Structure 1
């Protein structure tokens, strides 16, 4: 029996792990130990995802959150190292680009435990984003790089990974697996505080926007304008964003709701007329449910969505945000090219993990 130690800590990782953990449980010869760092810790950002998505209860709960990036990552590194020494896994599996991702990969690499990185190879080419730093460093110390797209594969080849003793594997995107798996369940999920259809579903949490007063003011102004003159804006508000808006003395005149679970988010994605976001994951979720997306960032790691016309980058320019939202409201998009693998990514990840173990 080979032991895989999986590290999660934030909302997108819970969603990704839900389908991969399910595939591991259905595969003979593999055992999973789940570590939750606590990066997203409150009930609306963490507990609800485990309950809704059927993720096994974490074997280790670290409750590490708050503080600077360095402080959080350092505390995680210390705690994860202790768990690795006790559990002695055959492989450490990490997802995405959070502080939890980097801490888990670094702790494992220091102990010479193989690291498998799901969602490897993504690049926004913006080193001011903490996520970009995390994903680049994680790729550099990983042994198995599970890429969601050909673009991600190409990025790693350009960076010289094809000449390194690592495995580059294009497996598709596990987020699409989750969208397809849970879409039917979401048909019966009600978000009672949101009435009707045809609204703009917005999210706002990236540090590049929330920590810059000028960008935050422009985005809040654009959201208010859209809500008053284009269509109702529904905004599940991250606690950190709520605090940043209050600190900046800004007023949101939109329908603000508390953070919601994945099924509730899918239900809103199915009902909305447009997605407006600065999230990486939500850009893809919009695409999976056929909705056009306007992204309030200067770059995106999901460049293929821009290339096929499903996503429009507008930065934090209030006029550009409003103009793009008007132009894209109600527009549907389709995945004719099967950009993200069609829902088989988790199976490919687990198949490759088992093959690697059997080859040792």
Structure 2
């Protein structure tokens, strides 16, 4: 009678875990003894993650919310570990499944292993090589104590082999983010609001920026936005922006009628915009995956990436954080000369089914 505990802490985690829940629900019909719990650590909370977010992804509300949000990285990690230890002692399980690279992933994997519970890491093995990123530390520590790795690429597999993990621990299954994308694509819908009225297909850009290297320094942000505004030649730029970044932007005194700021969007609305955009400009990892599969040009404002397959086989280009490097890439987008999506192995929408099949063969 296998018992699994699934952990999610931030909004992207739920996109990765939703298809696994759907696959478990399906498996339970033929294996009624299968039990699982969904635990939300509470690391991130916003209104888009309350009712409508779970409805959009068609996943049940979590069985527990640990309320671990707020505070410094150390305070958040400690808060989640204390609450998750109590959760596991009250609801014992055979395996804890964590996804991605957020603080919750680190905290819950350590807590599980100290209670002698197996850990499975979905998206294990990916590396940026950048230890200034908290996510990279989370990945490294989580992988060091993981029992089963569910990987997205051969690059991740090789990273784990170099670290000495056994072949039977490494399961190349694909990308559950793409499971969600493919399942939800027919339901994508245009966002409502004046900001979006009049946008024409393939005649606007979508931009996201949240990394401190890009948004915390006012002059760096201004220089980057100036380069983007110049290179996009007056086409609309839709920028869903977090309140912290909005405050910094307000200090810059930008005068650009084609830069449309809006609040963060729901999953279905945001990906509708991406699918129909001329290109995406971002410093996110996950968006590079989604844009690639939707064959939308993607410009990444980072000096490194943990998702190199989106560059080799996808539509992503790593431009860096120097605004002066941006122009040739935007010129290529404007000229319609961007590379096409080549197809990334196993990113076929069936990753979660493979994960659950492997789990049930092991427990």
Counterparts of 1:121 and 1:130 in 2: how far apart (Å)?
16
> How many matched pairs?
351
Q: Are the aligned partners of 1:124 and 1:132 in contact in 2 as well (CA < 8 Å)?
A: yes
Kindly indicate whether residue 236 of structure 2 is the aligned counterpart of residue 232 of structure 1.
Answer: yes
Please give the TM-score of this superposition, normalised by the length of structure 2.
0.90
Counterparts of 2:338 and 2:260 in 1: how far apart (Å)?
23
Unaligned runs of 5+ in 1: none
> Which residue of structure 2 aligns with residue 42 of structure 1?
46
Kindly indicate whether residue 274 of structure 2 is the aligned counterpart of residue 274 of structure 1.
Answer: no
> Which residue of structure 2 aligns with residue 341 of structure 1?
347
> Which residue of structure 1 aligns with residue 362 of structure 2?
356
Match of 1:148 among 152, 155, 168: 152
Counterparts of 1:239 and 1:60 in 2: how far apart (Å)?
28
> Which residue of structure 2 aligns with residue 20 of structure 1?
20
The 3 A distance-change label for structure 1 pair 241 and 101 is farther
> Which residue of structure 2 aligns with residue 65 of structure 1?
69
Counterparts of 1:204 and 1:10 in 2: how far apart (Å)?
17
Match of 1:256 among 253, 258, 261: 261
Is the deviation greater in 58-67 or in 8-17? 58-67
Kindly indicate whether residue 105 of structure 2 is the aligned counterpart of residue 101 of structure 1.
Answer: yes
Q: Are the aligned partners of 1:226 and 1:233 in contact in 2 as well (CA < 8 Å)?
A: no
- How far did 1:271 drift? 1.2
Counterparts of 1:74 and 1:226 in 2: how far apart (Å)?
45
Aligned to 2:39, what secondary structure does the other structure show?
strand
> Which residue of structure 1 aligns with residue 318 of structure 2?
313
> Which residue of structure 1 aligns with residue 185 of structure 2?
183
1:195-251 CA-partner distances (Å, limit 9, x unpaired)? 323211111112333344554343333344346x342111111234334545xx334
Aligned to 2:328, what secondary structure does the other structure show?
helix
Counterparts of 1:39 and 1:349 in 2: how far apart (Å)?
25
Aligned to 1:347, what secondary structure does the other structure show?
helix
> Which residue of structure 2 aligns with residue 200 of structure 1?
205
Please give the TM-score of this superposition, normalised by the length of structure 1.
0.91
1:332-360 CA-partner distances (Å, limit 9, x unpaired)? 65443433431111111111111110xxx
Aligned to 2:125, what secondary structure does the other structure show?
coil
- How far did 1:176 drift? 1.1
Q: Where in structure 2 are the equivalents of 1:110-189 lying within 5 Å?
A: 110-162=114-166, 167-186=169-188, 188-189=189-190
- How far did 1:16 drift? 0.8
Q: Are the aligned partners of 1:205 and 1:240 in contact in 2 as well (CA < 8 Å)?
A: no
Is the deviation greater in 201-210 or in 49-58? 201-210
